[in-house]
Structure 1
Amino acid sequence: MASMIEPPAQVTLVHTEFLEDAHTVEALSEMGSISRLSKGAEGLAGSGIESVVWTSTSASFVLGLDGIRQQIEALEKLLGVPASTTAMAFARAVKAIGAKRVAIAATYPEDVAQRFRAFLNHFDIEVVHLASRGILTAAEVGTLGKDDVIAFAQANTRKHADALLIPDTALHSAAWLTDLEEATKAPVLTANQVSFWEALRLCGKLATQTGLGRLFESVP
């Protein structure tokens, strides 16, 4: 996505190690632990970054709002720049586009998807529809192609929802945002999209863009 905006952004990416690729509450909680997050953040020290985002939706919201706050606090303390997580980015992006009621097309198992609903409730975001695809690993999510992703989005769009949320950073979607919104006739927020938007927002570099969905079309 960094090359899709004008002017292009410079992104430093660090892959954190994890014990198990599994969309379970236990595995995701360990994946988003402060010790593991801190170890990953060490790779960003001295890199000149202006903001940092922990880009895992599920490995932040499964820990609840208090857990997310601890993740953000740890990153800011370690790196000395504004920090956030993908889950927080979703909440802020929903507010930014003026949405109050949302539908969710989640790749996760049901129990994990329900935790995303609970997280959004903290921000008075009403979830009018929640679908769970039940995929257990990020690796499998990453195999879903364009047609499958668009069909999944269309199947879970609701007329009484102001936007469709598609969490999971393992899901390919950045190149298809315009196609997704054309297919669903609704604003669509995806994990990597909102993460990138949040990172730019935190360092004051947000600017109106085309081709990245309605979230980027009207920047306050």
Structure 2
Amino acid sequence: MTGATDLKTGGRKAPAFVYDGDGYRARIGLIFMASSVVMENEMWAMAPEGVSVHTNRIKLPKVTVEGIQAMMDAPELEQSARLLASAPLDVLCFGGTSASFLHGTAYDKALIEKMKDWAPGIPVNTASTASLAGLQAVGAGPVVLATPYVDEVHARAIRFLEENGHKVLASDNLRISEDQALAEVPLEKIFDMICEMDTPEAEAVFISCTNFRSAGVIDALEKELGKPVVSAVQSSFWHALRLAGIEDDCPGYGQLFKQPLPEPRA
């Protein structure tokens, strides 16, 4: 009834609140590198209303095999997972691609099992696990690969993809070893890099590294190349949404978001 008293507001007109980023649909926990800046903002950019991201950080000395290994061996990794698990999360994501594929598929799976122990009862994923699920979801076989890594880490990315059924037909890497420098590569350079090396036989593009900008270029690349583009950040977020039961499309960030979570490969 017009003019009726609202007992909850003491007769005042009900206030109009604006959305404050509350994760009333899903809260995603993220373990991320202390010197990195890309993954969080890209996840927030892609997030449907009602999905929030909550981060804890670990130190990455250098983006080399030795530096990544030092990060993974440090006690901060377990501490970070356990601290995040004290929050009411729906998913816990390890946001390091090279760190989770560093020693191949078995290493990535072992990391998943450790995270389950550190965060009991919370679904978990890694950037590498999510990337494979994303490529599977878009029906990709052979791919082209873009990374900012030094040669040795880039070679391990190729090995990881190929041991999981994705032959790398063409690839390029920027040979960057400083984490902060990864995030400074402009989208225009990433777009040109991928367009120049694409080959018609590749069924998808994969962009590796969670501190390497990708979200803003995915739609433009898909339109230019006529094939799906999967990135480590985008697939990690998509995978986390699906684990949390969120089936939303995220328009502008790739055809991956139109796909359900596939059944794990045997």
Q: Do both share a fold (TM > 0.5)?
A: yes
Alignment-derived partner of residue 81 in structure 2? 41
Q: Of 114, 128, 135, which residue of structure 1 is paired with 2:176?
A: 135
Q: Of 46, 54, 59, which residue of structure 1 is paired with 2:94?
A: 54
Q: In 2, distance between residues paired with 1:28 and 1:69?
A: 17
Q: Which sits farther off after the overlay, 28-37 or 204-213?
A: 28-37
Q: In 2, distance between residues paired with 1:94 and 1:43?
A: 31
User: 3-state DSSP class of the match of 1:211?
Assistant: coil
Q: Does 1:192 align with 2:233?
A: yes
Unaligned runs of 5+ in 2: 1-42, 262-266
Alignment-derived partner of residue 93 in structure 1? 134
Q: In 2, distance between residues paired with 1:172 and 1:105?
A: 11
Which of these two proteins has the greater Rg computed from alpha carbons?
A: 2
Unaligned runs of 5+ in 1: none
Q: Of 195, 207, 212, which residue of structure 2 is paired with 1:154?
A: 195
Q: Give the drift of 1:152.
A: 1.5
Q: In 2, distance between residues paired with 1:175 and 1:129?
A: 22
Q: Deviations over 1:159-180 (max 9, x none)?
A: 1100011101111222332123
Q: Does 1:82 align with 2:123?
A: yes
Q: Does 1:210 align with 2:237?
A: no
Q: In 1, distance between residues paired with 2:242 and 2:148?
A: 27
Q: Deviations over 1:167-215 (max 9, x none)?
A: 0111122233212322333211112101101111222223233111011
1:167 maps to a residue whose letter is S
Q: Give the drift of 1:3.
A: 4.8
TM-score for the superposition, normalised by structure 2: 0.76
User: 3-state DSSP class of the match of 1:52?
Assistant: strand
Give yes or no for contact 1:51–1:199 (8 Å, CA) kept in 2: yes
Q: Deviations over 1:44-81 (max 9, x none)?
A: 03211111111110111112222212211111111121
Alignment-derived partner of residue 182 in structure 1? 223
Q: In 2, distance between residues paired with 1:151 and 1:16?
A: 32
Q: Deviations over 1:137-178 (max 9, x none)?
A: 221111111211211221222211000111011112223321
* Number of residue-to-residue matches in the alignment: 218
1:216 maps to a residue whose letter is F
Q: In 2, distance between residues paired with 1:163 and 1:34?
A: 35
- Change in Cα spacing, 1:218 to 1:69, as seen in structure 2 (3 Å) is closer
Q: In 2, distance between residues paired with 1:93 and 1:33?
A: 28
